[in-house]
């Protein structure tokens, strides 16, 4: 099977299972939140977990396991690994592993900073060389003209860097509980609102709308 037909199959599968796709992306974050919130209870119920560390490190271990499971299910159901969750998953495993191994929560707290900075730099760097890479990041979820991709790539590149700075501000100035809550209940709404704000641009430069006309 060619790469094109594989990508088409993956795109159709994602459109047919939007709730599953959302659950696979949000599930690990919710487990991370629950693990931190109920870390002490988990340690008492499952004493083996105390070997990992405190509540945040227990949550990190659960987050890592949930992330791997999510990627496996994505590969089985959608026949491919989405770029953003895959890259994020690699960073989760590396920084989560370092946090547990060194008993230092700093590494997992910096994970969002590293991921968002990476995506921001890659997108803006691609633009500097005349290439709009956003279509690869979002798995070509929609079709835009060249100008549309350039504008959308610029906006997302800046937004990713904004999220990186925001994460640094929160984890360095607030408690672990506040940071975890922000990571789950703050970052996602901000991202959704930003995405919705891009709809006028997407509609204006959509090739699908032009083809229908």
Q: Give 92-151 pLDDT, tens digit per residue.
A: 999 999 999 999 999 999 999 999 999 999 999 999 988 888 877 665 567 888 898 999
Instruction: Tell me, yes or no, whether 132 lies in a domain.
Output: yes
* pLDDT given at position 12: 54
Q: Are 32 and 60 in contact (CB under 8 A)?
A: yes
Instruction: Tell me, yes or no, whether 201 lies in a domain.
Output: yes
Expressed as residue numbers, the domain containing 59 is 3-207
Instruction: Tell me, yes or no, whether 135 lies in a domain.
Output: yes
CA distances from 39 to 31, 35, 59, 64, 74 (A): 11, 5, 7, 15, 28
Q: Considering just the CA atoms, what is the radius of gyration of the chain in Å?
A: 19
The interaxial angle of helices 3-16 and 55-78, nearest 10 deg, is 120
CA distance 119 to 94: 17
Instruction: Tell me, yes or no, whether 186 lies in a domain.
Output: yes
Instruction: Tell me, yes or no, whether 181 lies in a domain.
Output: yes
CA neighbours closer than 13 Å in the CB half-sphere of residue 45? 8
- Cβ-proximal residues to 192 (8 Å cutoff; 6+ apart), any chain: none
Q: Is the pTM of this model over 0.75?
A: yes
* pLDDT given at position 6: 45
Residue 53 — pLDDT band, cuts 50, 70, 90? very high
- Total structural domains in the chain? 1
Q: Which tokens go with 95?
A: 């920084």
Instruction: Tell me, yes or no, whether 213 lies in a domain.
Output: no
Instruction: Tell me, yes or no, whether 41 lies in a domain.
Output: yes
Instruction: Tell me, yes or no, whether 212 lies in a domain.
Output: no
């Amino acid at each position: 099977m060619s790469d094109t037909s594989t990508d088409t199959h993956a795109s159709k599968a994602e459109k047919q299972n939007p709730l599953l796709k959302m659950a696979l992306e949000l599930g690990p974050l919710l487990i991370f939140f629950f693990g931190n919130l109920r870390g002490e209870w988990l340690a008492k119920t499952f004493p083996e977990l105390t070997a990992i560390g405190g509540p945040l490190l227990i949550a990190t271990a659960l987050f890592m396991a949930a992330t791997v499971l999510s990627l496996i299910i994505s590969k089985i159901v959608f026949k491919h690994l989405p770029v953003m969750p895959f890259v994020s998953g690699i960073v989760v495993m590396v920084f989560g592993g370092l946090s547990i191994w060194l008993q230092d929560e700093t590494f997992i707290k910096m994970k969002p900073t590293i991921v968002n900075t990476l995506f921001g730099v890659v997108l803006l760097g691609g633009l500097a060389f005349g290439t709009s890479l956003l279509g690869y990041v979002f798995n070509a979820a929609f079709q835009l003209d060249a100008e549309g991709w350039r504008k959308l790539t610029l906006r997302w590149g800046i937004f990713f860097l904004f999220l990186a700075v925001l994460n640094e501000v929160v984890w360095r100035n607030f408690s672990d509980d506040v940071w975890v809550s922000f990571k789950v209940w703050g970052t996602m709404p901000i991202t959704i609102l930003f995405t919705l704000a891009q709809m006028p641009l997407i509609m204006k430069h959509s090739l699908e709308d032009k083809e229908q006309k």
